[in-house]
Amino acid sequence: MSEETPHFRPSIKTQKSNETIERSQTEGQGGETHQHAPDDHRLTTAQGIPVSDNQNSLKAGPRGPTLLEDFHFREKMFHFDHERIPERVVHARGYGARGYFETTDPIPELTSAHLLQEKGRKVPAFVRFSTVAGNKGSMDLARDARGFAVKLYTEEGNWDIVGNNIPVFFIQDAMKFPDLVHSVKEAPDRAFPQAQSAHDNFWDFISLMPEAMHMIMWTMSDRGIPRSFRFMEGFGVHTFRFVNAEGDSTFVKFHWKPKQGLQSVLWDEAVKINGADPDFHRRDLWDAIQRGDYPEWELGVQVFDDAFADQFDFDVLDATKLIPEEDVPVRIIGRLVLDSVVDNFFAETEQVAFCTQNIVPGIDFTNDPLLQGRNFSYLDTQIKRLGGPNFTHIPVNAPRCPFAHFQQDGHMAMHNPAGRANYEPNSWKDGGPRADAEAGFRSYPEEISGEKRKARGELFADHYSQARQFYQSQTKVEQTHLADALIFELSKVETLEIRERVVAHLPNIDGDLAQTVADGLGFEDVPEAHAPRREVVGGLTKSDALSILKNGPDSFQGRKLGILVTDGIDGELLQSLKDAVQEAGGVVEIVAPAIGGIKTSDGKRVPADQKIDGGPSVLYDAVAVMASKDGVAKLKSVHPAKGFAADAFAHAKFIALAGDAAELFRAAGVTDFDDGVFELADRKGAAEFIEACKALRYWDRVK
């Protein structure tokens, strides 16, 4: 038996009728009249039965009780009552897009995976980005890890690389996952805070789990508040195996490297963006794809053998550890491009089911205890969320290659075995599929021995060394942000003992960090450090790959300039600036006192994209202000306009000023301009300003 999968984008077609359109009067609730639509647009029940009245339920008389036989009403209410499926316990707030993966550097010597055998092989892909802690209705810019889940529809079945934008995790064993999630979610007695880790329960748990300190360095760093999905890395987190055609195995870690470079926001920006546009990340991805600026990542692999694993200072099965790229370089083998938005959010993004167990021949698992637990948990979760075992029949989850098996029945079954045979082995002539000993998936025959007991490897006990390496690999600016994040989060913790227990971990990571956080929390002294369970490894080298600022964009492509304008500005100068942004591959939004826009000095109308109240400077990567004398006089009396200027300067953005715009900044309290502020006078000045914007921000302003 062989079945082809349903179309990824199912369409519902109704049979057109040759009848002429009839007009009829149907009395609605308010006595209004309705005209029948053409047959190909007429309303029907889910069974295809045409509906005559969608305004009134069937009653025994105009004022009588509703009748049970009104099957349209019952079906409509039944579906409405059940249209919400349980949201994901974690990663509930997500956003997805379609695209493709293409192999650019085949590696048949490492893996037999069909996809990776030849240069140029392409397969469809679906990617879902998400926050971890918040519910579906939470905001995009929460400080949190981000899910980075990729489903590749390969010729050998679906391969899911279910990772995060951070290469390590809080815990080493899946046994602790429910506790971790319970601690970071809203407290059960009060049901808040939502999508935040700045509360007692989370930090109480962390203070008692030193294995989490490496991940804490990442989440408290700028990695926890990325600029957008397009400007963040993805990681497979765990160590997997490659297995080649000869059965030889190597270890592998997966990396997604954004071609756009890395970029994050500041915490003050994140707070204000959540107020101005809680869908900021969603909108950014949607807009980028719609305008043809397709996000792209390179797939890189770190490949190493048993000899490296044996001499490595840490256990490669420990999900709280990474392998520095300086020790094992990342080899780029493919590219991922997102070039299509979904047709329906629920059908695809909400119903897509990622499972770490979904691997293809040539890929295999290791004994990472967190990975082993995820393999169990994800499948169990999908059955609960999506109503039963047939969630693979949903188009977004169905493989694109032929599939055949003897699984049958269950809720919402779309594919059942055809014919008499629904078991194997059988002796029937058309008895269905059989196992393929040559091409079928085989687990790597790793030798396993040891006592059966609850335990972890000895090297798992080092909880601080890589946390120290990460912190010391950050630039001074990034270290300041990390310390500020810890101070902010712990300032929301009401219990002094919890704050002290957390800070007592920090001397094992960095003495200056511990002192800074202790000072920020008002401690007289740094609490006595917790005794490490295993001696901290000294002399680990700094890794530039761990810093965002050392891996930022090298152009303005895909980034956004906000231009605040008033009536009476130089229209040609405005066009020069817009041209410079377009040539750099960026995007412009016009912000004005009124959504109707402004008139330039020569009387031309310039429509606005945002009214100043809804277009604060935090939404943009860089800003320009172009104001006439009369225009700036009006802006100076508008609080959001002064906030636009003050925030842009405080957030170290590159700024361009034209006309009398400097007066707005002075009114906002900015009196000393620096080299990050440009005077915009002509086309050359516009080009120089956009060239400077490649550097992300003018960090000298906040040193």
Q: For residues 443 and 534, what is the distance between their CA atoms, to the nearest angstrom?
A: 34
SS3 letters for 466-477? HHHHHHHCCCHH
Phi first, then psi: what are they for 422, rounded to 5°? -130, 30
CA angle (583, 589, 591) in 5-degree steps: 140
Lateral strand order in the sheet of 655-659: 610-611, 587-592, 560-565, 622-627, 655-659, 677-679
- How large is the angle between the packed helices 571-583 and 683-692, nearest 10 degrees? 40
CB 441 within 8 A of CB 361: yes
- How large is the angle between the packed helices 369-385 and 177-184, nearest 10 degrees? 60
Phi first, then psi: what are they for 392, rounded to 5°? -70, -10
- DSSP H or E stretch at residue 398: none
Q: How many CB atoms lie within 10 A of CB 410?
A: 14
Closest to 252 measured CA to CA, from 385, 406, 116: 116
> In Å, what is the CA distance from 300 to each residue of 104, 124, 309?
11, 18, 19
DSSP state, residue 349? I
Catalytic: 7? no
Name the residue type at position 214. Answer: H
Q: How many helices (H) and strands (E) does the chain have?
A: 17, 18
3-state helix, strand, coil in the chain (%, to 5): 30, 15, 50
Catalytic: 164? yes
- The catalytically annotated residue of 91, 199, 238, 481 is 91
Residue matched to tokens 């060394």: 465
Q: Are strands 655-659 and 677-679 parallel, antiparallel or unpaired?
A: parallel
Residue matched to tokens 């990050």: 676
CA angle (377, 97, 107) in 5-degree steps: 75
DSSP 135-167: -TTS-TT-SS-EEEEEEEEETTEEEEEEEESSS
Token couple for 133: 């802690």
Q: For residues 363 and 379, what is the distance between their CA atoms, to the nearest angstrom?
A: 18
Radius of gyration of the chain from its Cα atoms, rounded to whole angstroms: 29
- The catalytically annotated residue of 158, 164, 201, 508 is 164
Q: Are strands 610-611 and 677-679 parallel, antiparallel or unpaired?
A: unpaired
Catalytic residues: 91, 164
